[in-house]
Amino acid sequence: MIYWGDETGIDNGSNCERGFAPKGQPPVLPVETKRERLNMLSALSRQGDIRFMLYEASMNQQRLIQFMDRLVRTSKRKVFLILDNLKVHHGKKAAVWLDKHRDKIELFFLPPYAPESNPDEYLNHALKLSVHSGDLPRTQCDIRHKTASFMRALQHSPDKVSAFFQHNQISYILVRG
């Protein structure tokens, strides 16, 4: 099974693309003074399968290993995981773990500075639009709830996941029925 993976951070700041105010009044958007943040590591396949892991601290090799371990434990076939060139992905601990599990998983890397080549980047964009729509999340618990709800809904909608592979920038991925 081929997966494309990526990390993203979601915060309680507004990424408002449009607003509304009564005629003659400026739009007002309340802003949280205490910044809250949650991180996510996700992977998606062309077949519509999606996996994710939420975490609070920074990305490190141990979190990557934990995610890859979950990925191989729940996969019936060998996993080919395509990632960007984040330093953590090339670390010694991760390399040792990958060497021990090479019959179950292999890593491949996208070209440097090519986020548009990763379908997971389009997922991240859709996630952030969803989290910041409606009532803005105020706490980390709110962010976690909105993020998990969006991702769980996608897990039950393979067609929506497959749609992330239909951007022009990722036409290098062979599309087969």
Assigned domain for 24 exists: no
pTM for this one? 0.86
Assigned domain for 25 exists: no
- Give the confidence band of 174 by pLDDT, cuts at 50, 70, 90: low
CA 12 to each of CA 38, 49, 57, 68, 97: distance values in angstroms, whole numbers, following the listed order? 9, 28, 16, 28, 34
Domain harbouring 165, CATH code? 3.30.420.10
Q: Choose between 43 and 27: higher pLDDT.
A: 43
Q: Structurally, how many domains does the chain consist of?
A: 1
Are the CB atoms for 18 and 51 separated by under 8 Å? no
Assigned domain for 17 exists: no
Assigned domain for 21 exists: no
Average pLDDT over residues 117-131: 95
pLDDT tens sequence across 3-39: 999 999 999 876 555 667 788 888 776 665 678 899 9
Assigned domain for 27 exists: no
Average pLDDT over residues 133-140: 86
Assigned domain for 80 exists: yes
Average pLDDT over residues 44-65: 96
Q: Which of 33, 1, 26, 174 is closest to 104 using CA atoms?
A: 1
Give residues with Cβ within 8 angstroms of 118, minimum separation 6.
4, 6, 82, 84, 110, 170
What is the spatial distance between Cα 12 and Cα 36, in angstroms, rounded to a whole number? Answer: 6
pLDDT tens sequence across 67-99: 999 999 999 999 999 999 999 999 999 999 999
177 pLDDT more than 50:
no
Assigned domain for 19 exists: no
- Give the confidence band of 176 by pLDDT, cuts at 50, 70, 90: low
Instruction: Provide the domain limits for residue 132.
Output: 2-9+33-170
